[in-house]
Amino acid sequence: SQCHQRAADRLLELCKANQGIYIKLGQHIAALVYLLPSEYTETMRPLQDKCPPTPLEDIEGLFSSDLGRSLDDLFSEFDPEPLGVASLAQVHRATMKNGQEVAVKIQHPYLDEYTPVDIATVVLIVKLIKKVFPEFEFGWLAEEMQQSLPQELDFVHEAENANKVRSLFHGSAFLKIPEVYWADRRVLIMEFVAGGKIDDLDYYKRHNIDPRQVSSELSKIYSEMMFVNGFVHCDPHPGNVFVRPRSRPFLSYILILRSFVPNPTNFEIVLLDHGLYRQLTPTFRLDYAHLWAAILAGDENGIFDYSYRLFTSSEESRHRTGGIAQARSQREFQVIRQKASTGRFFFAIADILAKLPRELLLLLKTHDLLRSVDSALEVSHGDSIDHMLRSVAIMGWYCALAIKQESIREMVQSR
C-alpha cells in the first residue's frame, strides 16, 4: 500500500542517515521476506550491499590507535578502494611485507562511540511502540540485536568462530574457510580468496558452474551445521557466501569412479563473515532434528511432541483440533489467502514469533536466507518439484544422521 511504502522510504532514509546499527537493523528487516509487507523488505534491500565507506584517513587513525602501527608498517600494498562495505565493517585487499595477499577487515571507527547509545535508543523506541500499540510483537528483534551485536563487533570472537567451523568441516572438499592471520578487536587480517557472490548467475555462466549443484552443496553444509554440529552460521546472505571455480578432477569424468572423488564438481563454496553464529545445545539440536524428521515423515504425533519440546519450557495441555494431514478444500485455501493479506494475520504471526526461543528464530531466519539464495539462483523455478524433493532428501539424510549418532552414543553410555 502507499502507506507502507511511505513508511518504508522514511525508514530507509533514517537508516542511511544514522548508519551503523541502523543499517544492520534495516538488513534484518530486508531478510524478513516471509513476515513483513514487501514494501519494507524490497525498500531495505539496498542496505545489504550499499553502505557508506570509512575514509582512508580514518582507517589510518584506527590502525595507529589500536595497533600502534601504520598501514605502511604492515603492508607493502594496500588498496584504498574497499572490496565491500557492510554496516559494521569494510574489507580491503592488501599485500603483506612477505608478499602474502590478504583481505583486511576493518571496523567502522565511529561504532565504538555510537553503538551503545544506538542500541539503547532502538530498544527504547521498540518499547514505546509496544506501549502505544500492544499488538506490536517485534521486541525480539531489538533483543536479538542486544545479544548479537557485541559479538559481531569483536573480531577476535569472529576469528575464533572461523577457526572452530574450519575444524568442524576439516577435510570437506566443498567448503572453504579463509585462514585468519591476525585478529584484533577491530581489525582482522585473513587469507584473500577470490570468487563471485553465490547469487551471481552471470559469474556461474562465465565459469560453467551449475547453480543446482551449488544449491545442493550449500544445503548439505547448513544441514550439517544445524543437525549434526550444532554450530550454525546465521547470516548466509549473498555478500557472505561466495562460490569460486576449481579444476574438475579427471576421475570425476569416469562415472564408476566419481563417488571416490571428494569433490567431483568444478567449484567450492567460500563462507565469509563469521561474526554471527549460534551454538545450539545438544537437546535443542536433537529436538530440532526430530521435528524435521517428523515433518518429512508426516508423523503428526512426532510433530506435536517435538514442537512442544522446542516451543515450550513446561508440559502444557495438548489440545488438538483437527489433523494437519487432512486435505484442504479450495474454499479453505481461499480463506487462508484472504486472511494472509490482513493486518490481523500479520500480527498473529508476529505474536507467535515473539514467543519462540531465540535459537529457533535465528534458524528460521537462516532458512529464509537460504531460500532467498535458491530463488536468486532460479533453482526453485521450472521443475520445482524436483528441487523440493532434492532439498527434502538432503535435510532428511542429515536429520537421520544426527538421530542415529545420538542413538549410538546412548547405547555406548548404557553399557
- Other beta carbons within 10 angstroms of residue 274's beta carbon come to 26
Helix axes 139-152, 343-355, angle to 10 degrees: 50
| DSSP helix/strand/coil, 169 | coil
Q: Tell me the H-state helices in 71-210.
A: 71-74, 111-132, 139-152, 155-168, 201-206
Rounded-to-integer distance, Cα 224 and Cα 220, Å: 6
Residues in the chain: 415
Question: Could you tell me which of 371, 374, 385, 380 has the C-alpha nearest to residue 35?
Answer: 371
Distances from the Cα of 401 to the Cαs of 140, 293, 397, 405, 409, in angstroms? Answer: 32, 11, 6, 6, 12
The rounded distance, in Å, linking the Cα atoms of 25 and 41 is 12
230 φ/ψ sector (left φ>0, alpha ψ -120 to 50, else beta):
left
Distance from chain centroid for Cα 231: 12
Q: Tell me if residue 235 is catalytic.
A: yes
- Choosing from 235, 273, 287, 374, the catalytic residue is 235
Residues 6+ apart with CB under 8 A from 121: none
Strand-pair category, 89-96 with 241-245: unpaired
By the 10 Å C-beta count (0-12 exposed, 13-18 middle, 19+ buried), 402 is classed as buried
Q: Return d(Cα 277, Cα 160) in angstroms, integer.
A: 11
**Residue 229 main-chain phi, psi, to 5 deg:** -85, -35
Chain position carrying cell 553465490: 198
Active-site annotation, residues: 235
